[in-house]
């Protein structure tokens, strides 16, 4: 019984903390009412590794981590979509990346394009992107050294991730979720995204039930 209560408390604390790191525009409903499909683009990554590596190698690793998050988000949304949890569709990232490549947009220069430009080029209503700051290679998994104290206090800090959703027509930020990455966040990229998005599930703006309830409140 004590163990059940303890883990329930941990989940509650995690959920409350997640809500503090979430921003939603007060114009979300007005700007997203016609949204049908969103595109997930690679995340801009900044690595600060202890190992001494060349600048070229660092850039390659940053690119790999950025695509790993893109892939993990698609996996999460695809699994949830099967349960009809969302009011929008998500563009296949293979198509997204192919369209970007055909228009000479690469990981190295995608950050110079605006949300409006990317949305028009990809034929979508909005863009999901973000930033990743890491001092480890999350795609390879967090360090195996385990400290129970670090786990519960969250002292093993590996970086930070920010997930953003922006409207394709106006380019305005609609939703943002930021989270510190620690041992508790997940063992690798897929695990991290799965856990953090589940914590934010009740606040995810395209959740079908949430949007339905919100419309009822306004009627």
Domain with 132 in it: what CATH number?
Answer: 3.40.50.10610
What is the domain count for the chain? Answer: 1
Residue 13 has pLDDT above 80, yes or no: no
Helices (H), the chain: 2-20, 28-32, 55-81, 93-102, 115-122, 148-153, 189-199, 208-218
Report the distance separating Cα 179 and Cα 61, nearest Å: 21
Domain with 74, as residue range(s), is 2-218
Q: Which residues are within 8 A (CB) of 78 and not within 5 positions of it... i.e. 6 or more apart?
A: 90
The more confident residue out of 190 and 85 is 190
DSSP state of 43: P
Question: pLDDT tens across 176-201, in order?
Answer: 999 998 877 788 889 989 988 888 87
């Amino acid at each position: 019984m004590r163990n059940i209560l303890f883990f329930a408390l941990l989940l509650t604390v995690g959920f409350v903390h997640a809500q503090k790191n979430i921003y939603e525009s007060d114009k979300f409903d007005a700007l997203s009412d016609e949204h049908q499909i969103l595109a997930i683009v690679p995340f801009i990554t900044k690595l600060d590794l202890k190992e001494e590596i060349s600048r070229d190698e660092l850039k390659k690793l940053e690119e790999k981590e950025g695509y790993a998050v893109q892939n993990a988000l698609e996996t999460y949304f695809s699994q949830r979509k099967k349960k009809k949890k969302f009011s929008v569709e998500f563009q296949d990232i293979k198509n997204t990346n192919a369209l970007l490549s055909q228009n000479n947009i690469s990981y190295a220069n995608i950050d110079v394009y605006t949300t409006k430009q990317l949305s028009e080029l990809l034929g979508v209503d909005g863009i999901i992107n973000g930033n990743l700051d890491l001092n480890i290679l999350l795609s390879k998994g967090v360090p195996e050294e385990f400290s129970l104290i670090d786990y519960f206090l969250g002292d093993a800090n590996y970086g930070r991730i920010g997930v953003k959703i922006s409207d394709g027509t106006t380019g305005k930020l609609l939703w943002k979720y930021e989270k510190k990455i620690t041992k508790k966040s997940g063992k690798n990229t897929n695990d991290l995204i799965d856990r953090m998005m589940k914590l934010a599930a009740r606040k995810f703006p395209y959740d079908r039930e949430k949007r339905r309830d919100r419309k009822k409140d306004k009627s």
